Amino acid sequence: MLCAILLRTRPVIMLSLARSLGPRSPKRCILSSSGRKRLNTGQSSLEARRYVVRGRVQGVGFRWFVEREAHILGIAGWVRNNADGSVEILAQGTRDQLLGLRSRLREGPRAARVDAVEESEARSSANLNSFRIEGAW
């Protein structure tokens, strides 16, 4: 998908390529006014998911990685370390946005080793409008 390739390019290039896709493409990359890229699929229904990532995921920049990816995808929610060594994420967005995040969680940052990503449904919240890193545990 072209949008996945555009995630790693500069915003100016993303905007110009998104414009060149035109209305014929059902999935277009759009640069929001905040500079974040989001996927426009015509789906406006928000879903919420809870992820628990296990492996070597603490002390390797995993929470900052998740925060950056969530901002790029336009997802709201939070990420935090758990006492058992896992990292927990609550994410709210469209189905496509959440699929993109799940894919990135499986990869993780370079220094991490992801052994498992557990996913479960969560309740959507109108209070979630940004993504943040929460306390250690």
- Domain segments of the chain: what residues? 2-40, 47-133
pLDDT of res. 1: 39
Percent pLDDT > 70 in the chain is 66
Catalytic pick from 10, 63, 106, 123?
63
Query: How confident is the prediction for the chain on average, in pLDDT?
Result: 77
Percent pLDDT > 90 in the chain is 60
What radius of gyration do the chain's Cα atoms show? Answer: 15
Rounded to whole angstroms, the Cα distance separating 85 from 74 reads 27
The answer to whether 74 and 67 have CB atoms below 8 angstroms apart is no
pLDDT of res. 54: 98
pLDDT of res. 4: 42
CB atoms within 10 A of CB 127: 7
Average pLDDT rounded to a whole number, residues 40-48: 66
pLDDT of res. 30: 44
The tens digit of pLDDT for each residue in 46-102 reads 999 999 999 999 999 999 999 999 999 999 999 999 999 999 999 999 999 999 999
Architecture per CATH, 47-133: 2-Layer Sandwich (3.30)
Annotation says 40 is catalytic: no
Annotation says 81 is catalytic: yes
When comparing pLDDT for 107 and 6, which is higher?
107
The answer to whether 28 and 97 have CB atoms below 8 angstroms apart is no
Catalytic pick from 81, 106, 110, 113?
81
Average pLDDT rounded to a whole number, residues 14-41: 42
Rounded to whole angstroms, the Cα distance separating 78 from 55 reads 19
